[in-house]
Structure 1
Amino acid sequence: MPHIQLPEGLPGILGPMAYSPQTTKPLNELAEVLLRTNASDSLTQGERELIASYTSRRNDCFFCSTSHGAAADYLLGRDKQVVAQTWENPDTAPVSDKMKALLTIAGSVRQGGKYVTPEQVAEAREHGATDQDIHDTVLIAAAFCMYNRYVDGLATWAPQDSAVYADMGETLATKGYVHFNEEQPA
């Protein structure tokens, strides 16, 4: 049961966003820029979603990890099971060495910004990460710590049916975040 009276029937972040529309627009715009705008030529939309999902999984935020994991799966190929393997063990997941290094950085950001080490940054650079990749990884991980705490701090509910997330992931991947709440049932 949510800690405050949220609109019924809206899972995860959708309930708090419906409750507080004035914060919805900037939160969705931030997600749009971080996850769908390729400011960096070398991080794909799927990789950005994977960083968001990985961070959320490490934060134990079921709704965010599953919805963004579904978006990453849609973009990276559902049959490849990249998200599930990354959640299980990023070191053996079928992602590039650069992504493995960036996921290490994201995991450190999740613990606290000062956990990111010069060695982790050097490792990412060794595998081809640019300053923009490192910047975007840190910002995605930091933002998803906020989103995760927003969702779980209000004790929102999350559907357990994986089909719900597959559809949600496809919508996020193809239509984005700015209009996502407008398409959800009230």
Structure 2
Amino acid sequence: MAHIDLGVDETRFPGITGPMRFRPETAKPLNELAEVLLRAPHSLPAGERELIAAYVSGLNDCDFCCTSHSAFAAAQLDQGLTLVGQVRADLDTAPIPEKLKALLRIAGAVQRSGRAVTPELVEAARALGATDVEIHDTVLIAAAFCMFNRYVDGLGTFAPEGPGGYYADSARRIVEHGYTESV
């Protein structure tokens, strides 16, 4: 049970969906931010941007966000949930492009502290072809998901078990309709 009465059935509106229904005036800009960062036209595919969100959420031990964004990434990546699991288990050996590994290293640094992002991490990403927009958006995705993760866990929201069910349904909805139509 959440730390506050969100006024919703938590099993029907788990994780971030309960707090967003509780305060729709704050949900709107948060969903708009997620839409721009994770789904808007970009040089990084949406599945890779969702993978950044899942990776940071996993580092933050946010079960709801990690499982949600793992499902959202998997629905948009050819190798699906297997690839997401490989990235989360061992970034260095995961079968993803080196540029994406470099961006995920930057995201991991942001998760620890914004000051952990070093010129060396940025230059390594640039050397592998990352653009300034990709680096910027990686940092912002990581920072935003630190906030989203703390929002979800700070209110003690309910997270359904396992990768199927709720998360698979949410992935279909997000991929089809996006974040601004999902609350």
TM-score range, shorter chain: over 0.9
Aligned pair count? 179
- Which structure 1 residue ranges, 5 or more long, are not aligned? 182-186
Amino acid at match of 2:30: L
Give the AA of the match of 2:64.
Answer: F
The aligned counterpart of 2:14 is 11
Task: Give 1:2 deviation, angstroms.
Answer: 1.1
SS of 2:76's partner is helix
CA 1:88–1:124: 2 relative to 1, 3 Å: same
Given residue 143 of structure 1, which amino acid in structure 2 is its aligned partner?
Answer: A
Which moved further from structure 2: 63-72 or 157-166?
A: 157-166
Task: State the 4+ residue runs in structure 1 displaced beyond 3 angstroms.
Answer: none
Aligned pairs for 1:26-175 (under 5 A) are 26-38=29-41, 40-41=42-43, 43-77=44-78, 79=80, 81-163=82-164, 164-175=166-177
TM-score when normalising by structure 1: 0.93
Correspondence for 2:27 among 24, 30, 46:
24
Residues 98-131 of structure 1 show CA distances to partners (whole Å, capped at 9, x for unaligned) of: 0000000000001111000000001101111000
Deviation at 1:78, TM superposition (A): 5.0
1:79 to partner: Cα distance: 4.7
Identity %: 56
State whether residues 69 and 169 of structure 1, in contact with CA within 8 Å, keep that contact through their aligned partners in structure 2.
no
CA RMSD for the aligned pairs? 1.1
The letter for the 1-side match of 2:140 is L
Shift of 1:173: 1.8
Report SS of the residue matched to 1:76: coil
